[in-house]
């Protein structure tokens, strides 16, 4: 697995993002991750965030490293780590400040979803190919050691 993030999204911290301690609320950090994820899917796969996006969020985990403060810009690096039969995993790295220090890391699992059938569907080959080309590597899901 690489530490490289080929897709980046930048957000400005707004006053409304702050909690009573004067730093960005943890729920807002999760929304920054969502923003990066949606922009990645839009920019790389051409998905529209309006209407039925053919993926649903199954899991998200955020590790908070350091606080984010008002006036900072947050850079969200996003990548796909692996693709399984019906799901894919993404990683995100959030940095902020003049020194671009790490403020959070996140992982998420998305499931390809058929809304007409109300069930998961196989990840289409077209998505697999497009994502592998964008990431510059094989994205097959690692198999556990047997």
CA distance 35 to 134: 19
Q: What is the pLDDT of residue 145?
A: 58
Q: What is the pLDDT of residue 62?
A: 98
> Of the candidates 84, 79, 76, 39, which has an alpha carbon nearest to the alpha carbon of residue 58?
84
**Strand pairing class (73-83; 87-96):** antiparallel
Q: What is the pLDDT of residue 1?
A: 43
Q: What is the pLDDT of residue 2?
A: 46
Residues of the chain with pLDDT under 50: 1-2, 146
Contact 73, 11 (CB under 8 A): yes
Q: What is the pLDDT of residue 3?
A: 64
Q: What is the pLDDT of residue 144?
A: 67
Domains of the chain, start order: 7-135 (3.10.129.10)
């Amino acid at each position: 697995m690489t530490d490289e993030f080929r897709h980046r999204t930048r957000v400005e911290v707004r006053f409304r993002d702050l909690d009573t301690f004067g730093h960005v609320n943890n729920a807002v950090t999760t929304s920054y991750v969502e923003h990066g994820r949606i922009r990645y899917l839009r920019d790389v796969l051409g998905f529209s965030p309006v209407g039925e996006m053919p993926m649903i969020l199954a899991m998200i985990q955020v590790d908070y490293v350091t606080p984010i403060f008002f006036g900072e810009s947050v850079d969200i690096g996003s990548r796909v780590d692996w693709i399984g039969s019906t799901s894919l995993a993404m990683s995100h790295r959030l940095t902020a400040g003049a020194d671009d220090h790490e403020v959070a890391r996140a992982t998420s699992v998305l499931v390809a979803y058929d809304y007409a059938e109300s069930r998961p569907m196989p990840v289409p080959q077209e998505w697999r190919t497009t994502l592998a080309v964008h990431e510059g590597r094989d994205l097959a899901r690692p198999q556990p050691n047997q």
